Protein backbone atom coordinates (compact mmCIF):
# COMPACT_ATOMS: atom_id res chain seq x y z
CA UNK A 1 0.00 0.00 0.00
CA UNK A 2 1.48 3.37 -0.99
CA UNK A 3 1.54 6.18 1.56
CA UNK A 4 -0.36 9.21 0.27
CA UNK A 5 1.76 12.35 0.44
CA UNK A 6 0.23 14.76 2.98
CA UNK A 7 -0.36 18.43 2.35
CA UNK A 8 1.36 21.22 4.24
CA UNK A 9 -0.12 23.95 6.41
CA UNK A 10 0.93 27.29 4.95
CA UNK A 11 0.60 30.14 7.44
CA UNK A 12 0.42 33.67 6.11
CA UNK A 13 0.43 36.48 8.68
CA UNK A 14 1.09 40.18 8.59
CA UNK A 15 -0.22 43.38 10.15
CA UNK A 16 -3.58 44.79 9.17
CA UNK A 17 -3.15 46.97 6.09
CA UNK A 18 -0.09 45.15 4.74
CA UNK A 19 -2.10 43.86 1.78
CA UNK A 20 -2.49 40.22 2.83
CA UNK A 21 -5.88 39.97 1.12
CA UNK A 22 -4.59 41.09 -2.27
CA UNK A 23 -1.45 38.93 -2.14
CA UNK A 24 -3.56 35.97 -1.06
CA UNK A 25 -6.08 36.43 -3.87
CA UNK A 26 -3.31 36.56 -6.47
CA UNK A 27 -1.48 33.56 -4.98
CA UNK A 28 -4.65 31.45 -4.99
CA UNK A 29 -5.65 32.54 -8.51
CA UNK A 30 -2.26 31.41 -9.79
CA UNK A 31 -2.19 28.22 -7.70
CA UNK A 32 -5.66 26.66 -7.62
CA UNK A 33 -4.22 23.55 -5.94
CA UNK A 34 -3.87 25.46 -2.66
CA UNK A 35 -6.94 25.33 -0.40
CA UNK A 36 -7.78 28.46 1.61
CA UNK A 37 -9.14 27.66 5.07
CA UNK A 38 -12.25 29.65 5.95
CA UNK A 39 -12.06 30.87 9.55
CA UNK A 40 -14.84 31.37 12.03
CA UNK A 41 -15.16 34.75 13.73
CA UNK A 42 -17.42 36.59 16.16
CA UNK A 43 -16.86 39.97 14.49
CA UNK A 44 -19.62 41.45 12.33
CA UNK A 45 -19.36 41.15 8.55
CA UNK A 46 -17.98 44.19 6.70
CA UNK A 47 -19.92 45.50 3.72
CA UNK A 48 -19.71 42.95 0.94
CA UNK A 49 -18.49 40.08 3.12
CA UNK A 50 -20.43 36.85 2.78
CA UNK A 51 -21.00 34.18 5.43
CA UNK A 52 -19.27 30.96 4.44
CA UNK A 53 -17.09 32.73 1.87
CA UNK A 54 -15.02 35.30 3.77
CA UNK A 55 -15.66 33.84 7.21
CA UNK A 56 -18.20 31.81 9.11
CA UNK A 57 -19.78 34.61 11.14
CA UNK A 58 -20.93 33.05 14.41
CA UNK A 59 -21.92 34.14 17.92
CA UNK A 60 -19.60 34.08 20.94
CA UNK A 61 -21.68 31.26 22.41
CA UNK A 62 -21.29 29.13 19.28
CA UNK A 63 -17.57 29.90 19.11
CA UNK A 64 -17.04 28.89 22.73
CA UNK A 65 -18.92 25.65 22.10
CA UNK A 66 -16.54 24.84 19.23
CA UNK A 67 -13.57 25.53 21.54
CA UNK A 68 -15.05 23.33 24.28
CA UNK A 69 -15.57 20.48 21.81
CA UNK A 70 -11.94 20.76 20.62
CA UNK A 71 -13.03 21.64 17.10
CA UNK A 72 -10.60 24.53 16.56
CA UNK A 73 -7.12 23.86 15.23
CA UNK A 74 -6.22 27.23 16.79
CA UNK A 75 -8.02 30.37 17.85
CA UNK A 76 -7.18 33.81 19.17
CA UNK A 77 -8.80 36.91 20.51
CA UNK A 78 -8.12 39.96 18.33
CA UNK A 79 -9.66 43.42 18.81
CA UNK A 80 -12.22 41.93 21.20
CA UNK A 81 -13.39 39.20 18.84
CA UNK A 82 -12.61 35.51 18.47
CA UNK A 83 -11.05 34.22 15.27
CA UNK A 84 -10.34 30.52 14.73
CA UNK A 85 -9.56 27.77 12.25
CA UNK A 86 -12.02 24.85 12.11
CA UNK A 87 -9.79 21.76 12.44
CA UNK A 88 -11.77 19.10 10.59
CA UNK A 89 -11.77 20.65 7.11
CA UNK A 90 -8.05 21.45 7.33
CA UNK A 91 -7.17 17.88 8.32
CA UNK A 92 -9.31 16.40 5.53
CA UNK A 93 -7.46 18.46 2.92
CA UNK A 94 -4.04 17.66 4.37
CA UNK A 95 -4.89 13.95 4.35
CA UNK A 96 -5.83 14.27 0.69
CA UNK A 97 -2.37 15.68 -0.04
CA UNK A 98 -3.63 19.23 -0.49
CA UNK A 99 -1.78 22.26 0.90
CA UNK A 100 -3.96 24.41 3.16
CA UNK A 101 -3.38 28.11 3.59
CA UNK A 102 -4.24 29.78 6.90
CA UNK A 103 -4.42 33.57 6.83
CA UNK A 104 -4.21 34.10 10.58
CA UNK A 105 -2.82 36.53 13.17
CA UNK A 106 0.32 35.95 15.19
CA UNK A 107 -1.01 34.40 18.43
CA UNK A 108 -2.80 31.61 16.59
CA UNK A 109 0.08 31.21 14.16
CA UNK A 110 2.60 30.69 16.97
CA UNK A 111 0.35 28.01 18.51
CA UNK A 112 0.15 26.10 15.21
CA UNK A 113 3.93 26.42 14.68
CA UNK A 114 4.59 25.00 18.17
CA UNK A 115 2.10 22.16 17.83
CA UNK A 116 2.93 20.90 14.34
CA UNK A 117 5.84 20.09 12.08
CA UNK A 118 3.97 20.20 8.74
CA UNK A 119 4.00 24.01 8.60
CA UNK A 120 5.52 26.61 6.30
CA UNK A 121 5.23 30.01 7.99
CA UNK A 122 5.43 33.29 6.09
CA UNK A 123 5.15 36.81 7.50
CA UNK A 124 4.23 39.60 5.11
CA UNK A 125 6.01 42.86 5.92
CA UNK A 126 5.12 46.39 4.78
CA UNK A 127 7.86 48.29 2.90
CA UNK A 128 7.89 50.76 5.82
CA UNK A 129 5.92 51.75 8.91
CA UNK A 130 4.77 54.97 7.15
CA UNK A 131 3.46 52.99 4.20
CA UNK A 132 1.52 50.70 6.54
CA UNK A 133 -0.16 53.67 8.26
CA UNK A 134 -0.95 55.18 4.89
CA UNK A 135 -2.55 51.94 3.60
CA UNK A 136 -4.51 51.41 6.80
CA UNK A 137 -5.93 54.94 6.86
CA UNK A 138 -6.68 54.93 3.14
CA UNK A 139 -8.81 51.78 3.21
CA UNK A 140 -11.78 53.80 4.48
CA UNK A 141 -13.66 50.80 5.85
CA UNK A 142 -13.05 51.50 9.56
CA UNK A 143 -13.51 54.36 12.01
CA UNK A 144 -10.60 56.25 13.64
CA UNK A 145 -10.71 54.23 16.88
CA UNK A 146 -10.54 50.91 15.01
CA UNK A 147 -7.62 52.18 12.91
CA UNK A 148 -5.78 53.30 16.07
CA UNK A 149 -6.31 49.86 17.65
CA UNK A 150 -5.10 48.12 14.50
CA UNK A 151 -1.96 50.27 14.35
CA UNK A 152 -1.24 49.39 17.96
CA UNK A 153 -1.74 45.71 17.19
CA UNK A 154 0.56 45.98 14.17
CA UNK A 155 3.50 47.11 16.35
CA UNK A 156 3.10 43.93 18.42
CA UNK A 157 2.66 41.76 15.33
CA UNK A 158 5.75 43.18 13.60
CA UNK A 159 7.79 42.40 16.71
CA UNK A 160 7.05 38.69 16.17
CA UNK A 161 7.97 38.57 12.47
CA UNK A 162 11.27 36.83 13.19
CA UNK A 163 9.45 33.83 14.70
CA UNK A 164 8.34 32.91 11.17
CA UNK A 165 10.43 30.79 8.81
CA UNK A 166 10.14 33.39 6.02
CA UNK A 167 9.56 37.14 5.80
CA UNK A 168 8.37 38.65 2.52
CA UNK A 169 8.18 42.41 1.90
CA UNK A 170 4.98 43.41 0.10
CA UNK A 171 6.50 46.21 -1.97
CA UNK A 172 4.87 45.11 -5.22
CA UNK A 173 2.20 42.43 -5.33
CA UNK A 174 3.48 40.36 -8.32
CA UNK A 175 6.99 40.33 -6.86
CA UNK A 176 5.77 39.35 -3.38
CA UNK A 177 3.59 36.58 -4.85
CA UNK A 178 6.50 35.26 -6.93
CA UNK A 179 8.68 35.17 -3.80
CA UNK A 180 6.02 33.21 -1.91
CA UNK A 181 5.72 30.78 -4.85
CA UNK A 182 9.46 30.27 -4.74
CA UNK A 183 9.28 29.51 -1.00
CA UNK A 184 6.47 27.02 -1.59
CA UNK A 185 8.02 25.55 -4.72
CA UNK A 186 4.97 26.20 -6.86
CA UNK A 187 3.65 28.52 -9.59
CA UNK A 188 5.60 30.21 -12.37
CA UNK A 189 8.62 30.62 -10.09
CA UNK A 190 9.41 26.89 -10.40
P1 LIG B 1 -10.07 40.93 9.89
O2 LIG B 1 -11.03 41.31 10.98
O3 LIG B 1 -9.34 42.11 9.33
O4 LIG B 1 -10.72 40.10 8.82
O5 LIG B 1 -8.97 39.99 10.55
C6 LIG B 1 -8.26 40.41 11.68
C7 LIG B 1 -7.09 39.48 11.93
O8 LIG B 1 -7.56 38.17 12.25
C9 LIG B 1 -6.17 39.33 10.72
O10 LIG B 1 -4.82 39.50 11.16
C11 LIG B 1 -6.40 37.91 10.28
O12 LIG B 1 -5.21 37.34 9.73
C13 LIG B 1 -6.75 37.23 11.58
N14 LIG B 1 -7.50 35.98 11.43
C15 LIG B 1 -8.44 35.66 10.52
N16 LIG B 1 -8.87 34.41 10.70
C17 LIG B 1 -8.17 33.90 11.74
C18 LIG B 1 -8.14 32.62 12.41
O19 LIG B 1 -8.84 31.68 12.06
N20 LIG B 1 -7.30 32.50 13.45
C21 LIG B 1 -6.48 33.50 13.87
N22 LIG B 1 -5.66 33.25 14.89
N23 LIG B 1 -6.47 34.70 13.27
C24 LIG B 1 -7.30 34.89 12.22
Residue 130 maps to a domain: yes
Nearest protein Cα to ligand 1, atom 18: 84
* Number of domains the chain contains: 1
**C-alpha 105 – ligand 1 centre gap (Å):** 5
Atom of ligand 1 nearest to the CA of 13: 12
pLDDT (tens digit per residue) in 123-144:
999 999 888 888 888 767 778 8
Which residues have CB under 6 Å of ligand 1? 16, 39, 43, 74-76, 78, 83-85, 103-105, 108
State how far the alpha carbon of 182 is from the alpha carbons of 16, 36, 109, 124, 141, in Å.
Answer: 24, 18, 21, 15, 33
**Of 138, 137, 124, which is closest to residue 171 (Cα–Cα)?**
124
Average pLDDT over residues 162-184: 97
pLDDT (tens digit per residue) in 67-114:
999 999 999 999 899 999 999 999 999 999 999 999 999 999 999 999
**Residue of 14, 104, 125 to mutate, ligand 1, most atoms within 8 A of C-beta:** 104
**C-alpha 97 – ligand 1 centre gap (Å):** 25
Residue 48 maps to a domain: yes
Residue 190 maps to a domain: no
Q: Domain containing 58 — which CATH number?
A: 3.40.50.300
The β-bridge partners of 10 are 101, 120
More confident residue, 75 or 148: 75
The side-by-side arrangement of strands in the sheet containing 40-41 is 56-57, 40-41, 81-86, 72-78
pLDDT of 36 > 80? The answer is: yes
Residue 28 maps to a domain: yes
pLDDT of 189 > 60? The answer is: no
Residue 36 maps to a domain: yes
Rg of the chain over CA atoms, in angstroms? Answer: 16
Q: What pLDDT, on the 0 to 100 scale, is given for residue 151?
A: 85
- Integer Cα distance of 102 and 52 in angstroms: 15
Give the residue numbers spanning the domain of 81. Answer: 9-184
Amino acid sequence: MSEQKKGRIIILSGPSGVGKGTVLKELLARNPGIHLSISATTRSPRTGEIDGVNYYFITREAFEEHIARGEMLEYASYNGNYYGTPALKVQEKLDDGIDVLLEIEVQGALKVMEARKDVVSIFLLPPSREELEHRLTGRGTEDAETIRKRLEASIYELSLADRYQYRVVNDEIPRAVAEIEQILGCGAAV
